[in-house]
Amino acid sequence: MQCPSCQNTDSRVLESRAADGGRSVRRRRECLNCEFRFTTYERVETVPITVIKRNGNREIFSRSKLLHGLNRACEKTGLDASRLETLVEELELKLQQRSGREVSSAEIGELVLVELKQMSEVAYIRFASVYRQFRGIDDFVSTLETMNQKPGPGHLAAVG
């Protein structure tokens, strides 16, 4: 494992423990060259999920990219980062369990919005404004009006 500080490849494991409900292993490491301490995660390698973007391009699903977007949408909302990580974990698990290996970015965005609506209205609006490419105040008003409607079925548990 390469040290993020000095790029040396020799490190020792200080501590290992299960993470993500046993789906990965968290390891604390120390670089043998500069003594910098860092954390790594090991996960079971899965078949990659291909995301079909709006423009038709395809790319591999990136949990870190999704988590980054969620973190930006949830800044200063009081939502705990661990809740967002759990949301991404559950979404990725549901996508892995599907029979198809391709999913549209639109479908991922809608699944995230269903969950965000339950977690934080502010985060929901922020994520929706970027994901749905709001062009003006009418887009915000329309989304706010639909938020007042009762949530229907279709939470992450129904994906598949």
Residues in the chain: 160
Same domain, 75 and 142: yes
Same domain, 54 and 126: yes
What's the mean pLDDT when you consider all of the chain?
84
Per the domain annotation, does 69 fall within a domain? Answer: yes
* % of residues, the chain, pLDDT over 70: 91
Residues 6+ apart with CB under 8 A from 137: none
Same domain, 34 and 62: no
Confidence at residue 13, expressed as pLDDT on a 0 to 100 scale: 96
Same domain, 54 and 98: yes
Q: Residue 57: pLDDT above 90? A: yes
Same domain, 68 and 146: yes
DSSP for 31-51 reads: ETTT--EEEEEEE---PPPEE
Confidence at residue 155, expressed as pLDDT on a 0 to 100 scale: 47
Same domain, 74 and 121: yes
Per the domain annotation, does 160 fall within a domain? Answer: no
* pLDDT interval class at 154 (50, 70, 90): very low
User: Mean pLDDT, to the nearest integer, of 117-135?
Assistant: 79
CB 125 within 8 A of CB 141: no
Same domain, 39 and 57: no
Confidence at residue 61, expressed as pLDDT on a 0 to 100 scale: 92
Ordered alpha helix ranges (H), the chain: 63-73, 81-97, 105-119, 121-131, 137-147
Residue with token string 């105040």: 137
Looking at per-residue confidence, does 126 or 39 come out higher? 39
Per the domain annotation, does 119 fall within a domain? Answer: yes
Looking at per-residue confidence, does 130 or 80 come out higher? 80
- Domain count for the chain, please give it: 2
Same domain, 114 and 57: yes
Confidence at residue 150, expressed as pLDDT on a 0 to 100 scale: 57
Question: Which domain, by its residues, includes 22?
Answer: 11-43
Confidence at residue 157, expressed as pLDDT on a 0 to 100 scale: 44
